[in-house]
Structure 1
Protein backbone atom coordinates (compact mmCIF):
# COMPACT_ATOMS: atom_id res chain seq x y z
CA UNK A 1 0.00 0.00 0.00
CA UNK A 2 1.33 3.44 -0.93
CA UNK A 3 1.72 5.95 1.88
CA UNK A 4 0.03 9.29 1.29
CA UNK A 5 2.43 12.25 1.44
CA UNK A 6 1.44 14.14 4.63
CA UNK A 7 0.52 17.80 4.25
CA UNK A 8 3.19 18.78 6.79
CA UNK A 9 5.86 17.34 4.47
CA UNK A 10 5.06 19.96 1.84
CA UNK A 11 7.00 23.25 1.66
CA UNK A 12 5.33 26.21 3.34
CA UNK A 13 5.11 28.12 0.05
CA UNK A 14 4.68 26.96 -3.52
CA UNK A 15 8.09 26.20 -5.13
CA UNK A 16 9.38 28.00 -8.20
CA UNK A 17 11.24 24.99 -9.61
CA UNK A 18 10.90 21.20 -9.50
CA UNK A 19 14.03 19.14 -10.15
CA UNK A 20 13.50 15.45 -10.76
CA UNK A 21 15.70 12.51 -11.59
CA UNK A 22 14.41 10.17 -14.32
CA UNK A 23 15.32 6.48 -13.98
CA UNK A 24 13.86 5.00 -10.82
CA UNK A 25 12.17 8.31 -10.02
CA UNK A 26 9.98 9.90 -12.69
CA UNK A 27 10.08 7.01 -15.16
CA UNK A 28 8.41 3.70 -14.53
CA UNK A 29 10.53 0.57 -14.75
CA UNK A 30 9.61 0.15 -18.43
CA UNK A 31 11.02 3.68 -19.01
CA UNK A 32 7.58 5.15 -19.74
CA UNK A 33 6.03 8.30 -18.30
CA UNK A 34 2.56 7.58 -16.95
CA UNK A 35 -0.46 9.64 -18.01
CA UNK A 36 -0.81 10.76 -14.42
CA UNK A 37 2.75 12.05 -14.34
CA UNK A 38 2.40 13.78 -17.72
CA UNK A 39 -0.68 15.59 -16.40
CA UNK A 40 1.08 16.59 -13.17
CA UNK A 41 4.13 17.98 -15.01
CA UNK A 42 1.92 19.97 -17.36
CA UNK A 43 -0.07 21.34 -14.41
CA UNK A 44 3.14 22.43 -12.66
CA UNK A 45 4.38 24.30 -15.73
CA UNK A 46 0.95 25.90 -16.22
CA UNK A 47 1.10 27.09 -12.61
CA UNK A 48 4.40 28.84 -13.34
CA UNK A 49 6.70 26.21 -11.78
CA UNK A 50 9.68 25.30 -13.98
CA UNK A 51 10.44 21.59 -14.26
CA UNK A 52 14.03 20.45 -14.74
CA UNK A 53 14.87 16.86 -15.58
CA UNK A 54 18.22 16.19 -13.87
CA UNK A 55 19.68 12.86 -14.90
CA UNK A 56 22.76 10.78 -15.49
CA UNK A 57 21.50 10.03 -18.99
CA UNK A 58 23.22 11.53 -22.04
CA UNK A 59 21.32 13.92 -24.30
CA UNK A 60 20.70 11.25 -26.93
CA UNK A 61 18.71 9.16 -24.41
CA UNK A 62 16.30 11.97 -23.54
CA UNK A 63 13.65 11.06 -26.10
CA UNK A 64 11.60 9.44 -23.32
CA UNK A 65 10.81 12.87 -21.85
CA UNK A 66 11.45 15.37 -24.67
CA UNK A 67 7.73 16.00 -25.10
CA UNK A 68 7.14 16.67 -21.41
CA UNK A 69 9.32 19.71 -20.78
CA UNK A 70 7.40 22.88 -21.53
CA UNK A 71 8.49 26.51 -21.22
CA UNK A 72 12.28 26.68 -21.08
CA UNK A 73 12.89 23.19 -22.50
CA UNK A 74 16.16 22.61 -20.65
CA UNK A 75 17.41 19.46 -18.96
CA UNK A 76 20.58 18.66 -17.01
CA UNK A 77 22.25 15.51 -18.32
CA UNK A 78 25.32 13.35 -17.62
CA UNK A 79 25.15 14.07 -13.87
CA UNK A 80 25.57 17.80 -14.42
CA UNK A 81 28.18 17.73 -17.18
CA UNK A 82 25.76 18.97 -19.87
CA UNK A 83 22.78 21.29 -20.10
CA UNK A 84 20.55 20.22 -22.98
CA UNK A 85 17.81 22.04 -24.89
CA UNK A 86 15.09 19.48 -25.56
CA UNK A 87 13.22 21.93 -27.79
CA UNK A 88 16.21 22.17 -30.16
CA UNK A 89 16.85 18.55 -31.02
CA UNK A 90 18.49 17.77 -27.66
CA UNK A 91 21.25 20.21 -28.41
CA UNK A 92 23.98 20.48 -25.77
CA UNK A 93 24.08 24.17 -24.86
CA UNK A 94 26.54 24.07 -21.96
CA UNK A 95 29.35 21.64 -21.09
CA UNK A 96 31.28 21.10 -17.87
CA UNK A 97 33.89 18.74 -19.23
CA UNK A 98 36.19 16.21 -17.63
CA UNK A 99 39.66 17.04 -18.87
CA UNK A 100 41.43 14.02 -20.42
CA UNK A 101 44.61 14.39 -18.29
CA UNK A 102 42.41 14.23 -15.17
CA UNK A 103 40.58 11.20 -16.55
CA UNK A 104 43.88 9.48 -17.27
CA UNK A 105 45.00 10.08 -13.68
CA UNK A 106 41.78 8.42 -12.49
CA UNK A 107 42.38 5.47 -14.82
CA UNK A 108 45.88 4.98 -13.43
CA UNK A 109 44.71 5.08 -9.80
CA UNK A 110 41.77 2.74 -10.37
CA UNK A 111 43.84 0.19 -12.25
CA UNK A 112 46.09 0.00 -9.20
CA UNK A 113 43.25 -0.16 -6.65
CA UNK A 114 40.91 -2.43 -8.67
CA UNK A 115 42.88 -4.13 -11.46
CA UNK A 116 39.88 -5.69 -13.22
CA UNK A 117 38.29 -2.32 -13.97
CA UNK A 118 37.26 -1.59 -17.55
CA UNK A 119 36.45 1.89 -18.82
CA UNK A 120 34.18 3.84 -21.13
CA UNK A 121 34.32 7.48 -22.18
CA UNK A 122 31.15 9.53 -22.62
CA UNK A 123 31.61 12.44 -25.02
CA UNK A 124 28.99 14.90 -26.21
CA UNK A 125 28.51 12.95 -29.46
CA UNK A 126 28.44 9.45 -28.00
CA UNK A 127 30.03 6.80 -25.83
CA UNK A 128 33.17 4.74 -26.57
CA UNK A 129 34.55 1.87 -24.55
CA UNK A 130 37.26 -0.69 -23.97
CA UNK A 131 36.82 -4.24 -25.34
CA UNK A 132 35.96 -5.70 -21.89
CA UNK A 133 33.46 -2.98 -20.99
CA UNK A 134 29.78 -4.05 -21.24
CA UNK A 135 28.47 -2.83 -24.58
CA UNK A 136 25.57 -0.38 -24.88
CA UNK A 137 22.89 -1.69 -27.22
CA UNK A 138 21.65 1.90 -27.68
CA UNK A 139 25.03 3.05 -29.01
CA UNK A 140 26.07 0.76 -31.88
CA UNK A 141 28.50 3.31 -33.38
CA UNK A 142 30.92 3.35 -30.45
CA UNK A 143 34.68 3.27 -30.91
CA UNK A 144 36.16 0.25 -29.14
CA UNK A 145 39.78 0.76 -28.04
CA UNK A 146 41.99 1.09 -24.94
CA UNK A 147 40.90 3.98 -22.77
CA UNK A 148 44.13 5.86 -23.47
CA UNK A 149 43.09 6.04 -27.13
CA UNK A 150 39.53 6.99 -26.21
CA UNK A 151 40.87 9.97 -24.26
CA UNK A 152 43.28 11.09 -26.98
CA UNK A 153 42.87 14.62 -28.44
CA UNK A 154 42.21 13.17 -31.89
CA UNK A 155 38.75 12.00 -30.86
CA UNK A 156 37.59 15.40 -29.65
CA UNK A 157 37.23 16.97 -33.09
CA UNK A 158 34.66 14.39 -34.25
CA UNK A 159 33.13 13.32 -30.93
CA UNK A 160 33.28 16.39 -28.71
CA UNK A 161 34.65 16.97 -25.20
CA UNK A 162 34.55 14.34 -22.45
CA UNK A 163 31.49 14.55 -20.21
CA UNK A 164 32.30 11.65 -17.92
CA UNK A 165 34.42 8.57 -17.50
CA UNK A 166 32.67 5.31 -16.64
CA UNK A 167 34.31 2.44 -14.78
CA UNK A 168 32.96 -1.10 -14.51
CA UNK A 169 34.04 -3.95 -12.26
CA UNK A 170 32.81 -7.55 -12.20
CA UNK A 171 34.21 -8.65 -8.84
CA UNK A 172 33.11 -5.91 -6.43
CA UNK A 173 29.71 -4.87 -5.13
CA UNK A 174 28.52 -1.48 -6.39
CA UNK A 175 28.97 0.31 -3.07
CA UNK A 176 32.34 -1.35 -2.35
CA UNK A 177 33.58 -0.31 -5.77
CA UNK A 178 32.45 3.26 -5.15
CA UNK A 179 34.20 3.38 -1.76
CA UNK A 180 37.39 1.87 -3.23
CA UNK A 181 37.42 4.32 -6.13
CA UNK A 182 36.80 7.38 -3.99
CA UNK A 183 39.59 6.37 -1.63
CA UNK A 184 42.02 5.79 -4.49
CA UNK A 185 41.18 8.67 -6.82
CA UNK A 186 38.59 10.92 -5.20
CA UNK A 187 41.09 13.77 -5.09
CA UNK A 188 41.07 13.87 -8.91
CA UNK A 189 37.36 13.92 -9.76
CA UNK A 190 33.77 13.37 -8.61
CA UNK A 191 32.63 9.75 -8.22
CA UNK A 192 29.06 8.49 -8.01
CA UNK A 193 26.81 5.66 -9.15
CA UNK A 194 23.24 5.12 -10.30
CA UNK A 195 23.32 1.59 -11.72
CA UNK A 196 22.43 -1.65 -9.88
CA UNK A 197 25.75 -3.04 -11.17
CA UNK A 198 29.29 -2.02 -10.18
CA UNK A 199 29.33 0.86 -12.64
CA UNK A 200 30.79 4.18 -11.55
CA UNK A 201 30.22 7.57 -13.17
CA UNK A 202 33.15 9.97 -12.90
CA UNK A 203 32.85 13.71 -13.57
CA UNK A 204 35.19 16.66 -13.44
CA UNK A 205 36.02 18.26 -10.07
CA UNK A 206 32.98 20.01 -8.63
CA UNK A 207 30.62 18.71 -11.31
CA UNK A 208 27.39 17.16 -10.03
CA UNK A 209 23.66 17.34 -10.54
CA UNK A 210 23.53 19.77 -7.62
CA UNK A 211 26.23 22.17 -8.78
CA UNK A 212 24.83 22.50 -12.31
CA UNK A 213 21.28 22.84 -10.99
CA UNK A 214 22.55 25.58 -8.65
CA UNK A 215 24.05 27.44 -11.63
CA UNK A 216 20.79 27.20 -13.57
CA UNK A 217 18.81 28.40 -10.55
CA UNK A 218 21.19 31.29 -9.93
CA UNK A 219 20.58 32.55 -13.47
CA UNK A 220 16.85 32.50 -12.72
CA UNK A 221 17.20 34.09 -9.27
CA UNK A 222 15.75 30.92 -7.76
CA UNK A 223 16.99 30.18 -4.24
CA UNK A 224 17.56 26.61 -2.97
CA UNK A 225 14.58 26.93 -0.61
CA UNK A 226 12.37 27.53 -3.68
CA UNK A 227 13.33 24.16 -5.18
CA UNK A 228 11.68 20.77 -4.66
CA UNK A 229 13.83 17.80 -5.73
CA UNK A 230 13.17 14.08 -6.25
CA UNK A 231 15.65 11.20 -6.51
CA UNK A 232 16.47 7.61 -5.68
CA UNK A 233 20.19 6.85 -6.13
CA UNK A 234 23.60 8.06 -4.85
CA UNK A 235 24.07 10.36 -7.86
CA UNK A 236 21.05 12.31 -6.56
CA UNK A 237 22.39 12.87 -3.04
CA UNK A 238 24.02 16.26 -3.56
CA UNK A 239 20.93 17.58 -5.35
CA UNK A 240 18.59 16.30 -2.65
CA UNK A 241 20.62 17.87 0.13
CA UNK A 242 21.00 21.18 -1.78
CA UNK A 243 17.30 21.67 -2.51
CA UNK A 244 15.13 23.33 0.10
CA UNK A 245 12.67 20.41 0.01
CA UNK A 246 13.57 16.93 -1.20
CA UNK A 247 11.80 13.61 -1.52
CA UNK A 248 13.27 10.13 -1.63
CA UNK A 249 11.30 7.61 -3.63
CA UNK A 250 10.06 4.56 -1.74
CA UNK A 251 12.38 2.46 -3.90
CA UNK A 252 15.47 4.56 -3.06
CA UNK A 253 18.99 3.42 -2.20
CA UNK A 254 19.50 3.30 1.60
CA UNK A 255 21.90 6.27 1.48
CA UNK A 256 19.21 8.40 -0.15
CA UNK A 257 16.62 7.37 2.40
CA UNK A 258 19.04 8.26 5.19
CA UNK A 259 19.87 11.68 3.74
CA UNK A 260 16.32 12.94 3.12
CA UNK A 261 13.50 13.73 5.53
CA UNK A 262 10.59 13.40 3.09
CA UNK A 263 9.28 10.29 1.33
CA UNK A 264 6.93 9.64 -1.52
CA UNK A 265 5.65 6.58 -3.33
CA UNK A 266 7.93 4.61 -5.64
CA UNK A 267 8.43 5.25 -9.32
CA UNK A 268 5.96 2.51 -10.25
CA UNK A 269 3.30 4.29 -8.19
CA UNK A 270 3.81 7.82 -9.57
CA UNK A 271 5.48 9.19 -6.45
CA UNK A 272 6.58 12.43 -8.16
CA UNK A 273 3.09 13.08 -9.48
CA UNK A 274 1.61 12.44 -6.04
CA UNK A 275 3.66 15.25 -4.50
CA UNK A 276 3.04 17.68 -7.38
CA UNK A 277 -0.70 17.10 -7.08
CA UNK A 278 -0.58 18.01 -3.41
CA UNK A 279 1.68 21.00 -4.02
CA UNK A 280 -0.88 22.36 -6.47
CA UNK A 281 -3.93 21.11 -4.57
CA UNK A 282 -5.14 19.44 -7.75
CA UNK A 283 -8.58 17.79 -7.83
CA UNK A 284 -8.61 14.11 -7.02
CA UNK A 285 -9.76 13.31 -10.56
CA UNK A 286 -6.16 13.65 -11.76
CA UNK A 287 -5.09 10.91 -9.40
CA UNK A 288 -5.21 7.23 -10.13
CA UNK A 289 -7.54 5.45 -7.67
CA UNK A 290 -5.74 3.70 -4.84
CA UNK A 291 -2.55 5.78 -4.94
CA UNK A 292 -1.27 8.78 -3.04
Structure 2
Protein backbone atom coordinates (compact mmCIF):
# COMPACT_ATOMS: atom_id res chain seq x y z
CA UNK A 1 0.00 0.00 0.00
CA UNK A 2 1.13 3.55 -0.66
CA UNK A 3 2.15 5.30 2.56
CA UNK A 4 0.41 8.51 3.49
CA UNK A 5 3.40 10.10 5.17
CA UNK A 6 7.10 9.49 4.86
CA UNK A 7 9.64 9.44 7.68
CA UNK A 8 10.43 13.01 6.71
CA UNK A 9 6.85 13.98 7.53
CA UNK A 10 6.97 12.29 10.93
CA UNK A 11 9.87 14.53 11.87
CA UNK A 12 8.08 17.54 10.45
CA UNK A 13 4.95 16.98 12.49
CA UNK A 14 6.89 16.14 15.64
CA UNK A 15 8.34 19.62 15.38
CA UNK A 16 4.84 21.05 15.78
CA UNK A 17 3.74 18.97 18.75
CA UNK A 18 4.73 16.01 20.86
CA UNK A 19 3.23 12.65 20.09
CA UNK A 20 -0.08 11.87 21.68
CA UNK A 21 -1.27 8.58 23.05
CA UNK A 22 -3.93 7.22 20.69
CA UNK A 23 -7.05 5.91 22.33
CA UNK A 24 -8.87 2.84 21.10
CA UNK A 25 -12.18 4.64 20.60
CA UNK A 26 -13.23 8.28 20.79
CA UNK A 27 -16.87 9.35 20.80
CA UNK A 28 -18.34 12.08 18.67
CA UNK A 29 -18.40 15.40 20.55
CA UNK A 30 -21.72 16.12 22.23
CA UNK A 31 -22.18 19.45 20.49
CA UNK A 32 -21.87 17.88 17.04
CA UNK A 33 -25.02 16.68 15.29
CA UNK A 34 -24.63 12.92 15.56
CA UNK A 35 -28.16 11.86 14.63
CA UNK A 36 -26.72 9.91 11.71
CA UNK A 37 -23.81 8.54 13.72
CA UNK A 38 -23.03 4.89 14.40
CA UNK A 39 -25.72 3.48 12.12
CA UNK A 40 -23.47 0.58 11.36
CA UNK A 41 -21.85 0.30 14.78
CA UNK A 42 -18.16 -0.43 15.11
CA UNK A 43 -17.52 -1.92 11.68
CA UNK A 44 -14.34 -3.57 10.47
CA UNK A 45 -11.44 -1.23 9.78
CA UNK A 46 -11.69 0.34 6.32
CA UNK A 47 -9.34 -0.77 3.57
CA UNK A 48 -9.68 2.55 1.76
CA UNK A 49 -9.65 5.98 3.44
CA UNK A 50 -10.51 8.99 1.28
CA UNK A 51 -10.37 12.55 2.53
CA UNK A 52 -11.07 15.95 1.08
CA UNK A 53 -8.61 18.71 1.98
CA UNK A 54 -10.14 22.16 2.55
CA UNK A 55 -12.60 22.19 5.42
CA UNK A 56 -11.89 18.52 6.09
CA UNK A 57 -8.32 17.26 6.57
CA UNK A 58 -6.72 20.72 6.65
CA UNK A 59 -7.16 22.93 9.70
CA UNK A 60 -8.13 26.60 9.76
CA UNK A 61 -4.55 27.48 8.80
CA UNK A 62 -4.59 25.21 5.75
CA UNK A 63 -2.26 22.64 7.32
CA UNK A 64 -2.48 18.96 8.28
CA UNK A 65 -2.53 18.79 12.08
CA UNK A 66 -0.23 16.43 13.95
CA UNK A 67 -3.20 14.43 15.18
CA UNK A 68 -4.70 13.97 11.71
CA UNK A 69 -1.29 13.09 10.30
CA UNK A 70 -0.72 10.52 13.03
CA UNK A 71 -4.07 8.84 12.40
CA UNK A 72 -3.36 8.57 8.68
CA UNK A 73 0.14 7.24 9.27
CA UNK A 74 -1.19 4.52 11.56
CA UNK A 75 -3.91 3.62 9.06
CA UNK A 76 -1.37 3.27 6.26
CA UNK A 77 0.93 1.22 8.49
CA UNK A 78 -1.99 -1.11 9.22
CA UNK A 79 -2.50 -1.70 5.48
CA UNK A 80 -5.20 0.81 4.58
CA UNK A 81 -4.85 2.77 1.36
CA UNK A 82 -5.10 6.53 1.92
CA UNK A 83 -6.29 8.75 -0.93
CA UNK A 84 -6.68 12.51 -1.17
CA UNK A 85 -9.77 13.68 -3.11
CA UNK A 86 -9.88 17.42 -3.65
CA UNK A 87 -11.10 20.17 -5.91
CA UNK A 88 -7.57 21.56 -5.86
CA UNK A 89 -5.22 21.16 -8.83
CA UNK A 90 -1.97 19.23 -8.52
CA UNK A 91 0.08 22.39 -8.11
CA UNK A 92 -1.93 23.28 -4.98
CA UNK A 93 -1.25 20.07 -3.03
CA UNK A 94 1.57 21.68 -1.08
CA UNK A 95 0.23 21.08 2.45
CA UNK A 96 0.07 17.30 1.99
CA UNK A 97 3.11 16.96 -0.28
CA UNK A 98 5.19 18.93 2.21
CA UNK A 99 3.96 16.51 4.87
CA UNK A 100 5.35 13.62 2.84
CA UNK A 101 2.21 12.27 1.12
CA UNK A 102 3.21 9.76 -1.56
CA UNK A 103 -0.09 8.12 -2.45
CA UNK A 104 -2.86 8.75 -4.97
CA UNK A 105 -4.54 12.14 -5.19
CA UNK A 106 -7.83 12.61 -7.01
CA UNK A 107 -7.62 16.27 -8.05
CA UNK A 108 -9.92 18.82 -9.65
CA UNK A 109 -13.02 16.98 -8.45
CA UNK A 110 -12.08 13.76 -10.21
CA UNK A 111 -10.77 15.08 -13.52
CA UNK A 112 -7.14 14.26 -12.66
CA UNK A 113 -5.56 11.28 -10.90
CA UNK A 114 -2.08 12.07 -9.62
CA UNK A 115 0.56 9.67 -8.29
CA UNK A 116 2.34 11.82 -5.73
CA UNK A 117 5.16 9.33 -5.20
CA UNK A 118 6.06 9.30 -8.89
CA UNK A 119 5.08 12.96 -9.47
CA UNK A 120 2.99 11.78 -12.40
CA UNK A 121 -0.52 12.44 -13.71
CA UNK A 122 -1.83 8.96 -14.49
CA UNK A 123 -5.39 9.68 -15.69
CA UNK A 124 -7.37 12.65 -16.99
CA UNK A 125 -10.98 13.37 -17.96
CA UNK A 126 -11.04 16.41 -20.25
CA UNK A 127 -13.78 18.96 -20.73
CA UNK A 128 -13.85 19.87 -24.42
CA UNK A 129 -13.74 23.44 -25.74
CA UNK A 130 -17.09 22.92 -27.47
CA UNK A 131 -18.76 21.75 -24.25
CA UNK A 132 -17.36 24.74 -22.36
CA UNK A 133 -18.47 27.21 -25.02
CA UNK A 134 -22.01 25.82 -25.10
CA UNK A 135 -22.28 26.01 -21.32
CA UNK A 136 -20.85 29.53 -21.14
CA UNK A 137 -23.04 30.75 -24.00
CA UNK A 138 -26.20 29.44 -22.36
CA UNK A 139 -25.29 30.97 -19.00
CA UNK A 140 -24.44 34.38 -20.47
CA UNK A 141 -28.12 35.20 -20.93
CA UNK A 142 -28.83 34.73 -17.22
CA UNK A 143 -25.78 35.72 -15.19
CA UNK A 144 -22.93 38.24 -15.31
CA UNK A 145 -19.72 36.26 -14.75
CA UNK A 146 -16.08 35.73 -15.62
CA UNK A 147 -14.36 32.46 -16.45
CA UNK A 148 -11.13 30.63 -15.75
CA UNK A 149 -9.88 27.12 -16.45
CA UNK A 150 -7.51 24.59 -14.98
CA UNK A 151 -5.77 22.73 -17.79
CA UNK A 152 -3.74 19.57 -17.35
CA UNK A 153 -0.35 19.94 -15.71
CA UNK A 154 1.49 20.05 -12.41
CA UNK A 155 2.27 23.76 -12.09
CA UNK A 156 0.44 27.08 -12.29
CA UNK A 157 1.15 27.47 -16.00
CA UNK A 158 -1.98 25.38 -16.59
CA UNK A 159 -4.20 28.14 -15.08
CA UNK A 160 -5.88 30.50 -17.53
CA UNK A 161 -8.38 33.25 -16.71
CA UNK A 162 -10.12 36.21 -18.25
CA UNK A 163 -8.46 39.53 -17.59
CA UNK A 164 -10.93 40.59 -14.88
CA UNK A 165 -11.37 37.20 -13.20
CA UNK A 166 -10.85 37.37 -9.40
CA UNK A 167 -9.96 34.09 -7.72
CA UNK A 168 -11.84 33.63 -4.39
CA UNK A 169 -8.78 32.19 -2.61
CA UNK A 170 -6.34 34.90 -3.61
CA UNK A 171 -4.47 35.38 -6.83
CA UNK A 172 -2.93 32.32 -8.38
CA UNK A 173 -0.50 33.13 -11.16
CA UNK A 174 -3.08 32.78 -13.91
CA UNK A 175 -2.15 33.39 -17.51
CA UNK A 176 -4.60 36.03 -18.70
CA UNK A 177 -6.49 36.27 -21.96
CA UNK A 178 -9.81 36.85 -23.64
CA UNK A 179 -12.75 34.52 -23.04
CA UNK A 180 -12.13 32.88 -26.41
CA UNK A 181 -8.47 32.28 -25.52
CA UNK A 182 -9.37 30.81 -22.13
CA UNK A 183 -11.82 28.35 -23.68
CA UNK A 184 -9.82 27.31 -26.75
CA UNK A 185 -8.16 24.18 -25.29
CA UNK A 186 -9.41 21.12 -23.35
CA UNK A 187 -9.51 21.69 -19.60
CA UNK A 188 -9.85 19.67 -16.44
CA UNK A 189 -12.15 22.23 -14.83
CA UNK A 190 -14.03 25.33 -15.88
CA UNK A 191 -14.51 27.99 -13.19
CA UNK A 192 -17.45 30.40 -13.28
CA UNK A 193 -17.08 33.45 -11.01
CA UNK A 194 -20.15 35.59 -10.30
CA UNK A 195 -21.40 38.10 -7.76
CA UNK A 196 -24.00 35.85 -6.17
CA UNK A 197 -24.00 32.87 -3.84
CA UNK A 198 -22.77 29.59 -5.24
CA UNK A 199 -25.97 27.69 -4.41
CA UNK A 200 -28.27 30.00 -6.40
CA UNK A 201 -25.69 30.19 -9.17
CA UNK A 202 -25.55 26.39 -9.33
CA UNK A 203 -29.34 26.17 -9.51
CA UNK A 204 -29.42 28.58 -12.45
CA UNK A 205 -26.56 26.82 -14.21
CA UNK A 206 -27.99 23.34 -13.82
CA UNK A 207 -31.32 24.49 -15.21
CA UNK A 208 -29.75 25.33 -18.56
CA UNK A 209 -26.77 22.96 -18.68
CA UNK A 210 -26.76 20.19 -21.27
CA UNK A 211 -25.72 16.59 -20.66
CA UNK A 212 -22.05 17.28 -21.46
CA UNK A 213 -21.13 18.93 -18.16
CA UNK A 214 -21.26 18.34 -14.41
CA UNK A 215 -21.76 21.39 -12.16
CA UNK A 216 -20.77 21.61 -8.50
CA UNK A 217 -19.19 23.97 -5.98
CA UNK A 218 -16.89 23.88 -2.95
CA UNK A 219 -17.27 27.43 -1.63
CA UNK A 220 -20.29 29.66 -1.07
CA UNK A 221 -18.39 32.64 -2.47
CA UNK A 222 -19.91 32.78 -5.97
CA UNK A 223 -17.84 30.10 -7.71
CA UNK A 224 -18.98 27.16 -9.83
CA UNK A 225 -16.72 24.25 -10.75
CA UNK A 226 -17.65 22.57 -14.03
CA UNK A 227 -16.28 19.25 -15.27
CA UNK A 228 -17.12 16.87 -18.07
CA UNK A 229 -20.31 14.86 -17.62
CA UNK A 230 -19.82 11.87 -15.35
CA UNK A 231 -16.71 13.35 -13.74
CA UNK A 232 -16.86 13.73 -9.97
CA UNK A 233 -14.93 12.46 -6.97
CA UNK A 234 -17.22 9.48 -6.47
CA UNK A 235 -17.06 8.25 -10.06
CA UNK A 236 -13.27 8.47 -10.18
CA UNK A 237 -12.91 6.74 -6.83
CA UNK A 238 -15.20 3.96 -8.01
CA UNK A 239 -12.94 3.29 -11.00
CA UNK A 240 -9.81 3.34 -8.86
CA UNK A 241 -11.32 1.11 -6.17
CA UNK A 242 -12.23 -1.49 -8.78
CA UNK A 243 -8.63 -1.51 -9.99
CA UNK A 244 -7.44 -1.96 -6.40
CA UNK A 245 -9.97 -4.68 -5.59
CA UNK A 246 -11.74 -2.58 -2.96
CA UNK A 247 -15.52 -2.41 -2.62
CA UNK A 248 -17.44 0.72 -1.56
CA UNK A 249 -18.40 -1.09 1.66
CA UNK A 250 -14.69 -1.21 2.56
CA UNK A 251 -14.24 2.55 2.15
CA UNK A 252 -14.69 5.53 4.45
CA UNK A 253 -14.79 9.04 2.96
CA UNK A 254 -14.60 12.46 4.62
CA UNK A 255 -15.91 15.72 3.16
CA UNK A 256 -17.66 19.01 3.82
CA UNK A 257 -19.02 20.62 0.64
CA UNK A 258 -21.32 19.74 -2.29
CA UNK A 259 -18.39 18.64 -4.46
CA UNK A 260 -18.01 15.80 -1.93
CA UNK A 261 -21.59 14.53 -2.21
CA UNK A 262 -20.97 11.78 -4.76
CA UNK A 263 -17.91 10.59 -2.87
CA UNK A 264 -19.72 10.36 0.47
CA UNK A 265 -22.69 8.50 -1.01
CA UNK A 266 -20.36 6.12 -2.88
CA UNK A 267 -18.38 5.11 0.22
CA UNK A 268 -19.75 2.51 2.60
CA UNK A 269 -19.31 5.10 5.34
CA UNK A 270 -19.62 8.74 4.39
CA UNK A 271 -18.49 11.18 7.07
CA UNK A 272 -19.45 14.85 7.00
CA UNK A 273 -17.48 17.35 9.00
CA UNK A 274 -19.18 19.32 11.76
CA UNK A 275 -18.57 22.44 9.69
CA UNK A 276 -20.06 20.77 6.62
CA UNK A 277 -22.63 22.14 4.20
CA UNK A 278 -26.21 21.10 5.13
CA UNK A 279 -26.56 19.05 1.93
CA UNK A 280 -23.47 17.06 2.86
CA UNK A 281 -24.58 16.50 6.44
CA UNK A 282 -27.94 15.29 5.14
CA UNK A 283 -26.45 12.40 3.13
CA UNK A 284 -23.71 11.41 5.57
CA UNK A 285 -23.71 8.29 7.72
CA UNK A 286 -21.97 10.25 10.45
CA UNK A 287 -20.99 13.76 11.45
CA UNK A 288 -17.46 14.21 12.79
CA UNK A 289 -16.12 17.18 14.76
CA UNK A 290 -15.10 20.23 12.74
CA UNK A 291 -11.98 20.28 10.59
CA UNK A 292 -10.16 22.52 13.07
CA UNK A 293 -10.89 19.97 15.83
CA UNK A 294 -9.23 17.00 14.10
CA UNK A 295 -12.51 15.43 12.99
CA UNK A 296 -10.80 13.03 10.58
CA UNK A 297 -8.58 11.66 13.34
CA UNK A 298 -11.47 11.38 15.79
CA UNK A 299 -13.19 8.91 13.46
CA UNK A 300 -10.09 7.00 12.36
CA UNK A 301 -8.89 6.49 15.92
CA UNK A 302 -11.66 3.94 16.41
CA UNK A 303 -9.69 1.58 14.22
CA UNK A 304 -6.10 2.84 14.09
TM-score, normalised to structure 2, is 0.83
- 1:80-159 maps to which residues of 2 (within 5 A)? 80-89=110-119, 91-114=120-143, 116-125=144-153, 126-135=158-167, 137=170, 139-140=172-173, 142-153=174-185
Secondary structure at 1:165's aligned position in 2?
Answer: strand
Q: Does 1:30 pair with 2:58?
A: no
- How far apart are residue 186 of structure 1 and its match? 4.7
Cα RMSD between the aligned structures?
1.9
Which whole-Å CA distance do the structure 2 matches of 1:150 and 1:127 have between them?
9
Secondary structure at 2:242's aligned position in 1?
Answer: helix
Is contact 2:39–2:285 with CA below 8 Å preserved after alignment?
Answer: no
Is contact 1:113–1:184 with CA below 8 Å preserved after alignment?
Answer: no
Q: Does 1:206 pair with 2:230?
A: yes
Is contact 1:121–1:147 with CA below 8 Å preserved after alignment?
Answer: no
Pick the aligned partner of 2:79 from 28, 31, 48: 48
Match of 1:289 in 2: none
Residues 61-117 of structure 1 show CA distances to partners (whole Å, capped at 9, x for unaligned) of 1111025566x621100000000111123x322111111111111111111121x11
4+ runs of 1 displaced by more than 4 Å? 4-11, 67-70, 135-138
Is contact 1:26–1:272 with CA below 8 Å preserved after alignment?
Answer: yes
Is contact 1:229–1:245 with CA below 8 Å preserved after alignment?
Answer: yes
- 1:1-292 maps to which residues of 2 (within 5 A)? 2-3=29-30, 10=41, 12-68=43-99, 73-89=103-119, 91-114=120-143, 116-125=144-153, 126-135=158-167, 137=170, 139-140=172-173, 142-153=174-185, 161-170=186-195, 172-280=196-304
5+ residue gaps, structure 1, are 154-160, 281-292
Which whole-Å CA distance do the structure 2 matches of 1:219 and 1:69 have between them?
24
Is contact 1:80–1:207 with CA below 8 Å preserved after alignment?
Answer: yes
Is contact 1:17–1:51 with CA below 8 Å preserved after alignment?
Answer: yes
| Alignment CA distance shift 1:120-1:93 (3 Å) | same
- How far apart are residue 188 of structure 1 and its match? 2.9
| Alignment CA distance shift 1:2-1:206 (3 Å) | same
Is contact 1:224–1:242 with CA below 8 Å preserved after alignment?
Answer: yes
Instruction: Please say which of residues 142-151 and 250-259 is displaced more in the overlay.
Output: 142-151
| Alignment CA distance shift 1:139-1:111 (3 Å) | same
Is contact 2:274–2:287 with CA below 8 Å preserved after alignment?
Answer: yes
| Alignment CA distance shift 1:98-1:10 (3 Å) | farther
How many residues align? The count is 268
Secondary structure at 2:276's aligned position in 1?
Answer: coil
Give the structure with the larger helix fraction.
Answer: 1
TM-score, normalised to structure 1, is 0.86
Instruction: Please say which of residues 123-132 and 216-225 is displaced more in the overlay.
Output: 123-132
